[in-house]
Structure 1
Amino acid sequence: MPDAFRHGLQSGRRRQVRPVGGWQADLAQALQREELEVHYQPKLHACDGRLSGVEALVRWHHPRVGWVPPEDLIAFCERHRLIVQLGRWVVRAVCRQLADWQRTEGLRIAASINLSPLQLDSPSLADYFDEQMREHGLQPDQLSFEITESWSLAASGAADDFFRVLRQRGFGLSIDDFGSGYSSLSRLWRVPANELKIDAYFVQNVAADPAVQIVVKAAVDLAHALGMRLVAEGVETQAQCEALVRLGCDELQGYVFSPALPPAQLSLWVRGRMRAADAPAPHGAAPSALIG
């Protein structure tokens, strides 16, 4: 999520505006008319550079003023009680796109979607996820949900129950921004997540700061001990990529590989990646092999 929020609208290339209260009707109408967009940022296996999945990121182009930054869109929806409606729209749109890739191009892609704590106010949310997967002919392992570290570690009993239901039904669960808050390790192991995404601060400084490298290696070891993958997002340089591979990160995501892309461009990116990967690189491959 942080990488998407920093880079998702390619600051400086598109005009960005902040939503205001009067836009509530505009957004409700956009949701009804399916005028929002979902872009997809690739995640790569660190061992060989192959696609491991994508993160789905919602976009709104306001008809009068232009692109609204994703983080502002989410905050606006939470403030005006549109987050449940937006969240369901995103899940439906992502499932439809995954099914289209699978049907028309033979690409079986897994996607992750960010969840807001306010979405848990919606009854039968997990049932809605199941319904969308069945309707589009997908398997639960093709969809995972990202929750922030602060939410996961301060979650209520009801939230814990919801997380367990998601995992029991085969969906993935990722703890985002790991290391950004005051985590309780006794609480962390109780969250049934299968993935940790380390905070962007560590990724930004991992190439040059030995202390950060120690922290990242400890996070990798902790994730693996708990049966989780360790994902580094916000990777922007070859040096960062090299350090993260060396430290044992399982998956990498960031602008050094690709920004979030519209579906058609993501398809082309994946096809190009597949053509370039004649043979998997060995573990610890040079960053140039991952970056392609």
Structure 2
Amino acid sequence: MKSSKIDNMLIHEYVINDPLHQLFDAVNAISVQGYDEERRVIYWNEGSELLYGYSQDEAAGQKLEDLIIPKPMRDRVISAHRDWIKNGTEIPATEITLRHKNGDDVSVFSSHVMFTNQYNTKQMYCIDVDLTAVRQAQAQAIFKEHMLETIFEAIPDSFLLMEIDGTIIDYHTNNKNNLDVTPEQFIGKNMQDILPDEVANKFKTHIAKVIKQEGMISFEYDLTLPQGLVYFEARVSYLSKYNQVVTIIRDITEQYKSAELIRHQAYFDSLTSLPNRFLALDRLSQMLIEAERNNEKTSVFFLDIDDFKKINDSLGHEIGDKLLIDAANRLQQVLRKEDTLGRLGGDEFIVLLRGVADHNNTLAIAEDLLKTFRNPFKIDGRELILTISIGVAIYPENGRCASDLLRNADTAMYQAKASGRNTYSFFTKEMNVIMQRRFEIEEQMHGALERNEFELHYQPKLDVKNEKVIGSEALLRWHNPALGNVTPNEFIPIAEHTGLIVPIGKFVIKQALRFLNEWQNIDQQKYTMAVNLSPRQFRDAGLLIFIKNTLSEANVSPENLELEITEGVLMCGQSFIHDALIEINGLGIKLAMDDFGTGYSSLSYLRQYPFDVLKIDRSFINGITLNKADCDLVKATIAMSHSLGLTVVAEGVETKEQLSLLADLGCDFVQGYFLSKPLPAKQLLDFSAQLYPI
């Protein structure tokens, strides 16, 4: 009992009036233990109780190795401690696994310091950081440095113990980079002596606040140091028992940088660094407020790079990204400083003109924007010639809010596309009616298949020589209760754009082949059925398997199916298109080039792909009996096709004279209103029954 009292008295002597102990008594996030020369506990803070499970009373006087050192490590710890006491060999800071009171492992980063007290005896202090908590802080702070640096940056960097007047009693830091002088030079000085007046006054003000209200107060400040402007967060706590203040200071410069990066990513496009949609529309809203106040006009340009998708598909996204960056730089050069160029996404840009005097200013800018694309883009040794389509809406004539102006500029851009591209178009009310119709069609198209609104009509195809029907072309018709009859010219491009053409196309193939089987069985004739395929359908990986299975289910021979494609399918030059056409030919299905003569490179495509049929566009048939040029062109096309082994079909035959002339020119088959308009299935059966009565 007596020995215990003596030990407690000795321990008390180590602790009393020790400012370092006062500092760590106020911090429970870090375990701090003090040991005498025999490795007995002389100090055990609250952080140690939380980390290792032993209370201060339980730990006092116990030996280090008996408390928290696992058995395999004990001899090494005892030896290392003795070497430090006798030989001055410091124990290095390291990550180790110690032992909790309940026997569990405790993973810590442990650092050590040796003091010689007033009794000329040595005391070792261990500062242990729970790595679990530090790693959580590390993840939140997004630091990417070495683990050791991350740990110390994730906890408070600097500890100050101060009198209430700001005089520093004790100071400790893990980051020497933010100090102009050593910590020892701080001791005994007032904050007014070592900090700029503005910062020192902040400390003085917040110390006064925390003394009055207690608890913890935090505030931020910055200092210009040799490495630049550094931001700090200070947390101030009042130790009323000692009438002292503990301040924990943290370097938060990286958090400022991260916040700035997040702000940039929220408002600017990551590829071009232009304002993104959110920021561009916000700026437009501000411009409109100014325009209304100053009675000015504001112009909104919606820009789209023509055929940009072909660049991505054929040359890759890396080339496409470089092209977008160059395009942004070119467009920026045309604009004034007060104007805004933003990227809405993909290949779409927005231009905002502030304080426009009249339409001529807007017109001049539109011309200049088009001119920026006149010169080829030089990307990775390639020269690429591109154009843009521009839609323009003007405040207040074309809208009084940002969303209306952007929508109307977008509508005008589509009109520019429809006008041949590489041009600009100003918004009109008539244009808005057209776009509204487009939106309504797209809305109603969703679910139209399920509602059984689509129906196939069939246009008979006539053998010119014997004047017999040899087949038909399946044509899709759509009647919607809300919209009425919607023409294919309206809904097919929208279906292609939205991707709905894929399920609709499968419906057409299945219905057409099912009817072909019925038609052949009734008339006992081997008719052919022509079905159009769109470019989007070719990107469906299951297309060919679907066609093959549908032929089998409908009991139709492949040679009785004719797939019609236009030049638009072939223009992208993708390898999967070529492979699909070869496989179609391999299945025995006939391949027809539709609308021949309306494109630019049809002859080269006839050489590249295994076509069986060539269909001459109706625009040439209309004039064959009226002018020699059209007649000669059709005559040459028929002769060329026959020389390539192709069967020729003339579309749009509407008069007896046209049919007679085509017969003289050697055309194989015709279709058009002279023979019959497209008919529903039942009417086609009745029509053919008149020709082939049973």
CA distance 1:19–1:249, change in 2 (3 Å): farther
User: Would you say the 8 A contact 1:19–1:68 is kept in 2?
Assistant: no
TM-score by length of 1: 0.83
Equivalence for 2:502: 84
1:25 Cα deviation after fit: 4.9
SS at match of 1:111: strand
Q: Deviations over 1:107-165 (max 9, x none)?
A: 44211111110111111211100000111111111211111134335542221111111
1:168 Cα deviation after fit: 0.6
Equivalence for 2:617: 199
Selected match of 2:631 from 203, 210, 213: 213
1:198 Cα deviation after fit: 0.8
User: Would you say the 8 A contact 1:153–1:188 is kept in 2?
Assistant: no
Selected match of 1:144 from 555, 562, 579: 562
Equivalence for 2:450: 32
Q: Deviations over 1:36-77 (max 9, x none)?
A: 100000010110111121000011100123100012121121
User: Would you say the 8 A contact 1:55–1:113 is kept in 2?
Assistant: yes
Structure 1 residue identity aligned to 2:473: E
Indicate whether 1:259 and 2:677 are aligned: yes
* Structure ID, larger Rg: 2
Paired with 1:188 and 1:154, the residues of 2 have a C-alpha distance of: 16
SS at match of 2:536: helix
Structure 1 residue identity aligned to 2:687: W
Structure 1 residue identity aligned to 2:652: G
Q: Deviations over 1:159-188 (max 9, x none)?
A: 111111111101111101111122253442
CA distance 1:33–1:264, change in 2 (3 Å): same
CA RMSD, aligned part only? 1.8
Paired with 1:19 and 1:267, the residues of 2 have a C-alpha distance of: 35
User: Would you say the 8 A contact 1:95–1:133 is kept in 2?
Assistant: yes
SS at match of 1:144: strand
Paired with 2:658 and 2:556, the residues of 1 have a C-alpha distance of: 35
Structure 1 residue identity aligned to 2:607: W
- How many pairs does the alignment contain? 258
- 1:263-274 pair list within 5 angstroms: 263-274=681-692
- 1:87-98 pair list within 5 angstroms: 87-98=505-516
User: Would you say the 8 A contact 2:567–2:602 is kept in 1?
Assistant: no
Structure 1 residue identity aligned to 2:468: R
Long gaps (5+) in structure 2: 1-435
CA distance 1:193–1:19, change in 2 (3 Å): farther
Selected match of 2:472 from 23, 32, 54: 54
1:242 Cα deviation after fit: 1.2
1:252 Cα deviation after fit: 0.6
User: Would you say the 8 A contact 2:578–2:609 is kept in 1?
Assistant: yes
Paired with 2:472 and 2:618, the residues of 1 have a C-alpha distance of: 17
Indicate whether 1:133 and 2:551 are aligned: yes
149-158 or 209-218, which deviates more: 149-158
1:241 Cα deviation after fit: 1.0
179-188 or 195-204, which deviates more: 179-188
Indicate whether 1:113 and 2:531 are aligned: yes
Structure 2 residue identity aligned to 1:143: L
Paired with 1:27 and 1:149, the residues of 2 have a C-alpha distance of: 26
Paired with 2:631 and 2:589, the residues of 1 have a C-alpha distance of: 31
Paired with 1:38 and 1:210, the residues of 2 have a C-alpha distance of: 37
Structure 2 residue identity aligned to 1:124: G
SS at match of 2:446: helix
Indicate whether 1:175 and 2:602 are aligned: no
Indicate whether 1:41 and 2:459 are aligned: yes
- 1:156-167 pair list within 5 angstroms: 156-167=574-585
Paired with 1:184 and 1:26, the residues of 2 have a C-alpha distance of: 36
User: Would you say the 8 A contact 1:153–1:187 is kept in 2?
Assistant: no
Structure 2 residue identity aligned to 1:260: P
Query: Which of the two has greater strand per residue?
Result: 2
User: Would you say the 8 A contact 1:102–1:109 is kept in 2?
Assistant: yes
Long gaps (5+) in structure 1: 1-17, 276-292
User: Would you say the 8 A contact 2:561–2:590 is kept in 1?
Assistant: yes
SS at match of 1:73: helix
Paired with 1:26 and 1:151, the residues of 2 have a C-alpha distance of: 26
Paired with 1:265 and 1:122, the residues of 2 have a C-alpha distance of: 33
Equivalence for 2:488: 70
1:225 Cα deviation after fit: 1.2
- 1:5-16 pair list within 5 angstroms: none
Paired with 2:455 and 2:543, the residues of 1 have a C-alpha distance of: 22
Paired with 2:680 and 2:591, the residues of 1 have a C-alpha distance of: 24
SS at match of 2:601: coil
Q: Deviations over 1:216-246 (max 9, x none)?
A: 1111111111111011010011111111111
Paired with 1:237 and 1:184, the residues of 2 have a C-alpha distance of: 27
SS at match of 2:479: strand
User: Would you say the 8 A contact 1:38–1:58 is kept in 2?
Assistant: yes
User: Would you say the 8 A contact 1:19–1:76 is kept in 2?
Assistant: no
Same amino acid, percent of matched pairs = 36
Paired with 1:227 and 1:153, the residues of 2 have a C-alpha distance of: 23
SS at match of 2:592: strand
1:208 Cα deviation after fit: 1.9
CA distance 1:226–1:85, change in 2 (3 Å): same
117-126 or 154-163, which deviates more: 154-163
Paired with 1:25 and 1:253, the residues of 2 have a C-alpha distance of: 34
TM-score by length of 2: 0.36
